[in-house]
Amino acid sequence: GENVEQHPSTLSVQEGDSAVIKCTYSDSASNYFPWYKQELGKRPQLIIDIRSNVGEKKDQRIAVTLNKTAKHFSLHITETQPEDSAVYFCAAPLTGFQKLVFGTGTRLLVSP
């Protein structure tokens, strides 16, 4: 069926290290791939997105890459800081772009 798979489910890094979260999607027509960050007890918030006509997008310490042939996209966080600790969700629009389907989330823990 239509779904988005996300790995790993948990990720622990030391402050200053890099973190990478990967997602795969099933609908080859998907053309927009957002990433959301959810801090403990808070609502999910959009942090970055990438469209299918580009392979990479950067915003300060965060970058997303997209491989349309393999149908996977990744979130890269460099120079991680304790405030990056949160759950990160990838997502993809499916079924005629009327449904946004989320991955199962990655809990990132950045230790000082």
Partner 1 sequence: NAGVTQTPKFQVLKTGQSMTLQCAQDMNHEYMSWYRQDPGMGLRLIHYSVGAGITDQGEVPNGYNVSRSTTEDFPLRLLSAAPSQTSVYFCASSRAGTLGEQYFGPGTRLTVT
Q: Which spans of this chain sit near partner 1 (rule: CB under 8 A)? A: 6, 9, 32-34, 42-46, 49, 89, 91, 93, 97-105
2 or 79, CB closer to partner 1?
Answer: 2
7 CB-contact burial (10 Å; exposed 0-12 / middle 13-18 / buried 19+): middle
- Residue 104 Cβ, how far from partner 1 at the closest point, in Å? 4
How many angstroms separate the first and last alpha carbons of the chain?
41
39 or 79, CB closer to partner 1?
Answer: 39
- Residue 69 Cβ, how far from partner 1 at the closest point, in Å? 21
> With contact defined as beta carbons under 8 Å apart, do 48 and 59 qualify?
yes
